Amino acid sequence: MSWYVLAVAALVLFGVERFLYKVSAERRCNTAWTTFSFMATVAIISTTLFFLSDRHIPDPGFLVVVSLINSASFFIGTISQIEALKCIPTNIAYPIIRLNTILVVLFSVIYFKDHLSATQLGGIIIAFCVVLWMTSQGFEGGNASRQVTKGLVLTGIALFSGAVAAISSKFAAVHTNTLGFIALSYIMGSIFSMLSRKGLHSNAENSNIKDAMIIGMAMGLVNLGGFYCFLSALRTGPLSIIISVVGMHFIVAIALSSFVYNERVSLTRGAGIALTVVALVLMR
């Protein structure tokens, strides 16, 4: 299977996962329990698959370091996104967070010396324009309340955390065992989630832990498939293009949120979604 097909598959799966973040936020689920259930699900399944497959690890020390960086950045990004969605709409939060694509592409071109064709470069430029456009449209009629400010700060944290997670994933995909990396990253993430459960608890939240656990498990199943496709694509494909493709998964989350939660999709947003499809075709 080509790296492009794997990247598109990751786009769809990550989009569904981010929609589940919205579901968790709408149900006011405890973020710590949702995140713990999510990461523990991935950790258990990926660890089982690791022991059933090729367990060769070229450099255990490297695996530990890159897993720690990835798990910490992904954990911070995850809780920041879920908490941000309690303050601002999906169609504002996700386009801003996806601006991390610019940081990752710049790093990839400079460090990995990615060679892009004119068509692929055009697709990346269109993808950037879509993110910027969707971001600017999200603030039409907005306000500057304390909740909105809090949401924007959290999206900024998620933006930088996501960039670090993506870059560390590229190093892991090329230099270590994929299932071992996923397993160790999510074991560490599960520990982070459990340690933070008191700090992320709020009396105003849904006290039904069952809801948080079920949504978290669903996130974990979808994320495992998406993360494996993402890492498999990174093993042979250029980070700059793959992150630009996968980075548009917020379109899937926005579309699902619009359908389920009646978040209005304006004509300009519809045009943004259409341009996303154009960008995907060009980056193939």
Q: Which domain holds residue 66?
A: 3-282
pLDDT, tens digit only, all 284 positions of the chain: 799 999 999 999 999 999 998 899 888 888 888 888 999 999 999 999 999 988 889 899 999 999 999 999 999 998 898 888 888 887 778 777 877 887 888 898 889 888 778 887 887 787 777 766 766 665 555 555 777 888 888 988 998 999 999 999 999 999 999 999 999 999 999 998 888 766 655 544 666 788 889 999 999 999 999 999 999 999 999 998 898 889 888 788 888 888 888 766 566 666 766 776 677 666 66
Give kind and range of the element (H or E) at residue 62.
helix 60-84
C-alpha dist (Å) from residue 150 to 48, 132, 277: 39, 21, 32
- The count of structural domains within the chain is 1
In this structure, how many other beta carbons lie within 10 angstroms of the beta carbon of residue 44?
16
Tokens of 50: 């690791």
Given a contact cutoff of 8 angstroms between Cβ atoms, the answer to whether 283 and 118 are in contact is: no
pTM over 0.85: no
Q: What is the largest CA-CA distance in the chain?
A: 55
Given a contact cutoff of 8 angstroms between Cβ atoms, the answer to whether 186 and 236 are in contact is: no
Cβ neighbors of 238 (< 8 A, separation 6 or more) are 108, 112, 114, 115, 116
